[in-house]
Structure 1
Amino acid sequence: MSRHALVFGATGLIGRHLILALGQAGVRVSAANRSPESYRRLVRWLEEHGHGEAPADLRVDFETPSLVHGDAADVTEIYNCAGAYRFGMPAEEARRANVDSVRAIVAFAAGLPRLRRLVHVSGYRVGGQDPEPWSDERRRETYEALGAYEASKVESDAVLQATADRLGVPWSIVNPSSVIGDSVTGESDQQLGLAASVKEIWQGTMAALPGGATTFVPVVTVDHLARFMTLLPLDEGAERSAYWVLDDDTPPLPDLLARVAEHYQVRAPRTRIPVPLLKRLPRWLTKADPETLTFLSDDRYPTGPADAFAARHGLARPDVVTSVLRWADHLAAHRFGALPAGRRRFTVVGGVRTFELGEPDAPTVVLPGLPVNADTWAPAAAALGHARVVDLPGLGLSAGGRGDWPRWLAALVDETGARHLVGHSVGAAAALEAALARPDLVERLTFVSPFFLQARARLAARSALLSRWYLGRVRPESLAERLTGDVAYAGALESSVADLRRGRVAAEVARLLADVGREDRRADLRAGLRRYPGSVHVIVGADDPLTAEGRMLLDTLPRATVTVVPGAGHHPQLTHPDELAHALRVPSEDSPPVVPS
């Protein structure tokens, strides 16, 4: 019999990946959406992830008896991924989202003549409930003990079984653990739960590792869970069965977080705090919602049936540690949900963990300056097209430091196909070093605000100690005013400020600022530029001009051009991204200005 799946909660993390898995299995899919806008967002996401035919758009309204508006008569399987995953909800809100919705979906399923299975997503801490009806006293005690979210999931598990059995609806339940990103890409937009702890590791704000040697917070990748779910309607033995889908090889929580810290190349907390003590500490100190602490447990779960089911269908689990680290990379690259869209990733260049954004393997590579990061170049890079922006070692989101530059720059050119290097400020020095080392491979050099052809920095910038103190405490508004003269650009600098407060980034920036202020360093770079045989395009803001010496040097080079951006200063990528992108695309002939559109 041909399969037609109806997915509730289709726009959520599990729902989206489930539709991908169903599509790969050749199953026709309809998505129950609350609004046309949510459906359009779903279709865009599916298209971006290679899904072919868009699912049918059925409208769902939990306030109406019919529940679903649209043609669902031939639906053979329903997947309920709907519900609210949020801590701190009032009890009634949680019950409407997670209990009442289950009753409505089961009642709807009972009226479908071709239905083979209702697959319900429960949870590893709440599954396996007795389907007996709850008394008011039991409901009150459970919600007080567990909190509204977890209690509503416990109740919905029982309600699903009881209602489905009463109405004759064939069901299967999956009880997944903490759902992390895709096992290959790490992609996930879920920021609650374990992701919040990973964020603390990244930021260096975790005071102590939670739990002990047996604290078990298991994970499962979203793509493995989705594939598991698609197989359930095909297996008659899975009817009226519940499966705990999680990876028993997940390391104990402190060890798992320590592995993430090692991967991030940051220091993990040396102290461990036992769970009983953690539960007694005030919330203002732990910064954790009390509802999340119930997940810190030594409990193990009955995974045998799920493992046997997966083995029977040839479904292998991906390596858990590899998957966790890919997920951690995705979270950090997308700044833990602050920048959810765009092509952002970590790569390894010359042995250095490196962040880049834009098109992978694009030949045009932008090397940002100080004290900003790759994110400040994102609008200009998008307007330029077919380009990527890469944080230099020790800056932005990249690991390493100044000592890694020679090896890193060689690998950037030799291994990643960089052919047009765009260096901004200190990035101009890096671009020149790479071009001098491999003039046969670097075809073009573009310098944006090259410090060694401009006036020296103010005295304060030449003091590493003062700069480090300032950069470690600066606010976006202050930095925007200092760099552009206008606090309106504070929003574009929030990520740069966040980076400066992480690890040793501020110290690395301060050292480089002091280095670029040294006259011998500037003279060495000018001498290197004189030796470079290739074409050079220099872009400067009108308010941050070349020195007379710098202009004279460029006049002696047979293949050098200069573009001046009216109204711009040292950071045109912040103030004039479109004009800068135009200048990068079309090098000028002997310094005609770029006219703003």
Structure 2
Amino acid sequence: MSATQRHALVLGASGFIGRHVVLALRQAGVRVSTASRSHESYQRLARWLATRGLDQAPADLRVDFTGPTLIEGDCDDVTEIYNCAGAYRFGMSADEARHANVDTVRAVVAFAARLPHLRRLVQVSGYRVGGQDPAPWSEEHRRQTYQALGAYEASRVEADAVFQATAERLGVPWSIVNPPSVIGDSATGESDQHLGLASMVKDIWQGSLPAVPGNEQTFVPIVAADYLARFMTLLPTDEAAEGAAYWPLDDDTPTMPGLLALVAEHYQTKAPRARIPVPLLKRLPRWLTKADPETLTFLSSDRYPTDSAHAFAAHHGLRMPDTATTIRRWADHLAAHRFGDAPTGDRRFAVLGGVRTFELGEPGAPTVVLPGLPVNADTWAPVLAAMRGARAVDLPGLGMSAGHRQDWPSWLSALVTQTGARHLVGHSIGAAAAVEAAAAHPETVEQLTLVAPFFLQPPPGFPARSAFLTRQYLSRATPRALAERLTGDTAHATALHTSVADLRRGTAAATARLLAVTTQPQWREDLQTKLQRYPGPVHIIVGSHDPLTPHGQALLDALPNATVIVIADAGHHPQLTHPHDLAQTITGPGSTTLISSERYGSP
């Protein structure tokens, strides 16, 4: 059967696996209908597909797993069904889990049996629950299984048995896929699943994982979401796959210590050397381990029957992507999106001058924001949203970027010569970085916009000179306390949650050292000299409560290419207090009535 003759129905299409299956089917030219519980979930799927170049959304059908017909809409010509529905959630009651994962399977198989042209029903099971004996369960067996495994895993075990038994009884042609931990897309790392392995990756990122669970043989295999989806979409095309179950996972996935060490090396953090045996984990209180007891059964040294999956993939020319590369890209995506706390927006890591660098905004945009202290690129998100063609990058060692102050020369050179940066917007310490870059590459940097340039303003008070005291404060400050200190108003605390998280993760020390350096007269004078030598246009933006020094004003007065913009009622952090005014000023100086401007130097 050709792709144009196929009509696929995807259940659970708005879920992580389901939407990748829809994408793979559409890319293969297969007509797709999706069955969602609500139009809202369908719209989320349609938007997700549109961002990947599929503007023509699949057919939208409603599903009711408790209703007599299951699906509202015409499905008579459906040739294949992909059942990706179910609940992936720990902490459910047995009844809740059975309703979500067992009763739905019965309903799907019964529905499939009524379709006249069905060639295959593909069921998503699991690598530790697949391959069950389809014999009916006794009440005692069910009670023991749910008690031993927990509601979630036990419901998936029971669902696997029920699926096989019901499909055989009703004569439904079936295939089962038993995926391991499904991580991000192999090309982009994209994933919005934050349970299981992802939670340990988060602990590695934050430096809060005290010990690796399990031992040297603990094996938690992975598979890339796009590979799994492509594997599934091939099953209905192969008659030999009918009545077969497959474990599509990489046998060469590093064992748990090796996987976490790989992530730690990529994050440039330390992986814990200590090991904590699973039997001990099960005895420790949950408040101490921070692990759901249901997840502990996945910490096993078991291996799985993968030969048939490898043979199937090879027969169809499907190559599994490199596992280590996929893990790194997945880890990048999780961190860039702050493990679900920043799910939207264009966020990524790049390597600039050998430094792993966080970047927010339009890739390759010519306008680049270099944030100040002690905040990060995320605080500039509202400003970027109001602009076009702009991005913000965390300086080395600040925000979510790796590196140190010593990396500035090579990092700035890579920024302006390799990424298309032409207009540098430097805030506070970022203004220093912008001037350094312009001095090194005056022919490449076409424009400077300096927001609250510290070297043209009064130096900070005595506490800033002590890196130790500053570090102690910043590593303990709450968002409310930091908002009040930076803006005088706790209303801006929400915008500082990510900055506080970065400071506590370890950037407080680098921030404190840099803040102390800003008090050094020699560096301030050197930056002023370099600014005077820069031949391009210079726009200075300050808040009315954070003025320039008389010396700074005199310096700018001597520059024929300088414009100063003063934002009324703003302080040192206008990106927090006046983001829209700031965006408008950067885009077109003096274009808003809320801002007064003066021309310094000759007209």
Post-superposition CA distance 1:399-430 (Å, at most 9, x none): 00100001100111111111000000000000
Q: What displacement does 1:453 show?
A: 1.0
| Structure 2 residue aligned with 1:450 | 453
User: Which runs of structure 2 are paired with 1:237-256 in the superposition (5 Å)?
Assistant: 237-256=240-259
**Does the 8 Å contact 1:369/1:424 carry over to 2?**
yes
- The 8 Å contact of residues 563 and 593 in structure 1, kept in 2 or not, is answered as no
Counterpart check, 1:517 vs 2:519: yes
Partner of 1:77: 80
Contact 1:370–1:426 at 8 Å: present in 2 too? yes
Residue 502 (structure 1) shift? 1.1
Compute the displacement of 1:113 (Å). 0.4
Question: Is 1:121 the counterpart of 2:124 in the alignment?
Answer: yes
Asked if structure 1 preserves the Cα contact closer than 8 Å seen for 2:566 and 2:596, the reply is no
In the aligned structure 2, how far is the partner of 1:508 from the partner of 1:465?
11
Aligned to 1:538: 540
Q: Report SS of the residue matched to 1:384.
A: coil
Post-superposition shift, 1:279?
2.4
Whole-angstrom distance in 2 between the partners of 1:426 and 1:577: 19
Matched, 1:594 2:566: no
Segments of 5+ residues of structure 2 without an aligned counterpart are 598-603
Q: Which whole-Å deviations, capped at 9, do the CAs of 1:94-122 have from their partners, x for residues lacking one?
A: 11110000011111111100000000000
Cα RMSD of the aligned pairs, angstroms, is 1.3
Match of 1:55 among 46, 49, 58: 58
TM-score, with length taken from structure 1: 0.98
Q: Which residue pairs with 1:566 in the alignment?
A: 568
Q: Distance in 2 between matches of 1:140 and 1:271?
A: 36
Q: Report Cα offsets for 1:431-484 as digits up to 9, x if no partner.
A: 000000000000000000111111211211221010000011110000000011
Which position in structure 1 is the counterpart of 2:476?
473
Mean Cα deviation higher: 272-281 or 223-232: 272-281
Residue 498 of structure 1, CA deviation: 0.3
Shift, 1:385, TM fit: 1.4
- Tell me: CA distance 1:595–1:547, structure 2 relative to 1, closer, same or farther (3 Å): closer
Q: Any conservation in 2 of the 1:563–1:592 contact (CA below 8 Å)? A: no
The residue type equivalent to 1:292 in the other structure is: T
Tell me how far 1:213 sits from its aligned partner: 1.7
The separation in 2 between residues aligned to 1:544 and 1:10, in whole angstroms, is: 52
Q: Give the secondary-structure state (helix, strand or coil) at the position aligned to 2:476.
A: coil
The structural deviation recorded for 1:527 is: 1.8
Amino acid at match of 1:267: K
Q: Deviations over 1:155-174 (max 9, x none)?
A: 00001011111111111000
**Is 1:397 aligned with 2:400?**
yes
8 A contact 2:581–2:594 mirrored in 1: no
Q: Give runs of aligned pairs for residues 370-449 of structure 1, distance below 5 A.
A: 370-449=373-452
Aligned partner (choices 314, 317, 327) of residue 311 of structure 1: 314
Please state whether the residue corresponding to 1:86 is helix, strand or coil. coil
Q: Using a 3 Å threshold, how does the CA distance of structure 1 residues 485 and 316 change in structure 2: closer, same or farther? A: same
Q: Which amino acid aligns with 1:517?
A: T
The one of 120, 135, 148 equivalent to 1:132 is 135
Residue number among 563, 580, 585 corresponding to 2:587 in the alignment: 585
Contact 2:457–2:549 under 8 Å retained in 1: yes
Query: What is the CA–CA distance in structure 1 between the aligned matches of 2:138 and 2:251, rounded to whole Å?
Result: 35
Question: Shift in Å at residue 595 of structure 1?
Answer: 7.3
Q: 1:75 to 1:595 in 2, by over 3 A?
A: farther
C-alpha contact 1:535 1:559 (8 A) present in aligned 2:
yes
Give the secondary-structure state (helix, strand or coil) at the position aligned to 1:568. coil
**1:277 positional shift:** 2.3
CA distance in 2, matches of 1:97, 1:51: 30
Q: CA deviation at 1:593?
A: 5.6
SS in 2 for 1:191: coil
The Cα shift of 1:520 comes to: 2.3
Match of 1:213 in 2: 216
Q: C-alpha displacement at 1:533, in angstroms? A: 1.6
1:84-483 equivalences under 5 Å are 84-483=87-486
Query: Are the counterparts in 2 of residues 422 and 446 from structure 1 also a CA contact under 8 Å?
Result: yes
What secondary structure sits across from 1:128 in the alignment? coil
Per-residue deviation at 1:396? 0.2
Distance of 1:222 and 1:148 partners within structure 2: 25
- Partners in 1 of 2:569 and 2:360 — Cα distance? 27
Aligned letter for 2:595? V
Secondary structure at the counterpart of residue 386 of structure 2: helix
More displaced 10-residue stretch of structure 1: 472-481 or 455-464: 455-464
Match of 1:549 in 2: 551
Give, in angstroms, the shift of residue 125 of structure 1.
0.4
Report which stretch shifted further, 513-522 or 185-194.
513-522
Deviation at 1:553, TM superposition (A): 0.9
Deviation at 1:588, TM superposition (A): 3.5
- Equivalent-residue separation in structure 2 for 1:562 and 1:71 (angstroms): 65
1:75 match: secondary structure: coil
Q: Please state how far the C-alpha of 1:281 moved relative to its aligned partner.
A: 2.0
Q: 1:14-68: per-residue Cα shift (whole Å, max 9, x none)?
A: 0011111001111000000111111111100000012242100000111211110
CA distance in 2, matches of 1:50, 1:272: 45
Amino acid at match of 2:249: L
Counterpart-to-counterpart distance in 1, 2:327 and 2:341: 20
Which amino acid in structure 2 is aligned with residue 356 of structure 1?
Answer: E
Contact 2:121/2:172, CA 8 A, preserved across alignment: yes
Aligned-partner Cα distance in 1 for 2:412–2:590: 27
Q: Post-superposition shift, 1:552? A: 1.3
AA in 2 matched with 1:585: T
Does the 8 Å CA contact 1:23/1:52 hold for their aligned counterparts? no
Give, in whole Å, the separation in 2 of the partners of 1:595 and 1:411. 35
- Secondary structure at 1:502 match in 2: helix
Matches of 2:273 and 2:151, distance apart in 1: 34
| Aligned partner (choices 490, 504, 519) of residue 501 of structure 1 | 504
Kindly tell me: are residues 92 and 549 of structure 1, through their superposed partners in 2, closer, same or farther at Cα, counting changes over 3 Å?
A: same
Read off the aligned partner of 2:380 and give its amino acid letter.
Answer: W
Q: Which residue type is aligned with residue 426 of structure 1?
A: I
Q: Which residue of 2 aligns with 1:26?
A: 29
**1:152 Cα deviation from its structure 2 partner:** 0.3
Q: Decide whether aligned partners of structure 1 residues 395 and 474 sit closer, same or farther in structure 2, where only a CA change above 3 A counts.
A: same
In 2, Cα distance between equivalents of 1:168 and 1:486? 68
Pairing of 1:11-22 with structure 2 (within 5 A) = 11-22=14-25
- The size of the alignment, in residue pairs, is 594
**Secondary structure of residue in 2 paired with 1:220:** strand
Q: Which runs of 5+ in 1 are unaligned?
A: none
**Is 2:46 aligned against 1:43?**
yes
Partner letter of residue 259 of structure 2? Answer: L
